[in-house]
A and B are shown apart, each in its own frame.
Chain A
């Protein structure tokens, strides 16, 4: 069964550094998402992406965040200058016409 993959599984970075989280969505999906989950808290929507542009973003997704689909397969989330409070599990998801979202295993981001 096709699945969403994410790399790395764990990323440790210093505050103020840039990080890029990578995702490979399911190949025939058209809608792509990033969510995050701070330890012990809810899974929160960050951004959705369709037709090479952002469809919707939450208030969390400020100017420090950006997404890109640089080629036909990858979908990336960039955080320009990480803060301590960016430490969380970041999940990529993709969906097709049914809008059923398939989630990747997540990247655990630790900002020191």
Chain B
């Protein structure tokens, strides 16, 4: 089964508009993380939301988490051309103890047109 699947796969908006990306997952989690990746570059951690949190803000980012629906959303308000990137949700999978890894979705490619 796929863990951490984002939709839409691609989103194109005008500068100043808001962008909303969604992520669904299948297994229980203790947190969910969102990352950004500019084309061909590294992963930048944006925000981590814990399973006991419903909403979290960081600057122009707002993340929600609905554990009953196993879904999360990332909202970027007042988008800028520099927000153009791929956005991934990632969920930790743990086998207990030191076993821990992130499972990434395929990502949403956001294009913000100036």
Instruction: Show the binding face of A for B, using Cβ within 8 Å.
Output: 31, 33, 35, 41-45, 48, 50-51, 55-56, 58, 89, 91, 93, 95, 99-106, 108
Contacts and interface: CB of A to CB of B under 8 A. Distances in A.
Nearest to B31: A99
A42 B105 contact: yes
Given A56-B95, A100-B48, A103-B35, 7 more contacts: A33-B102, A43-B88, A48-B98, A55-B98, A100-B45, A101-B102, A103-B45
Contact of A42 (B31, B33, B42, B104): B104
Contacts of B60: none
B98 A43 contact: no
Contacts of B105: 42
Contacts of B92: 99
Contacts of A93: 102
Contact of B100 (A35, A55, A103): A55
A100 B30 CA distance: 12
Interface of B: 31, 33, 35, 40-45, 48, 88, 90, 92, 95, 97-107
A87 B6 CA distance: 25
A105 B40 CA distance: 9
B110 to A, nearest CB: 16
Contacts of B104: 42-44
Given A100-B48, A102-B45, A103-B43, A45 B102 contact: yes
A51 B43 CA distance: 25
Contact of B45 (A48, A51, A101): A101
B98 A50 contact: yes
Contacts of A44: 104
B47 to A, nearest CB: 10
A93 to B, nearest CB: 8
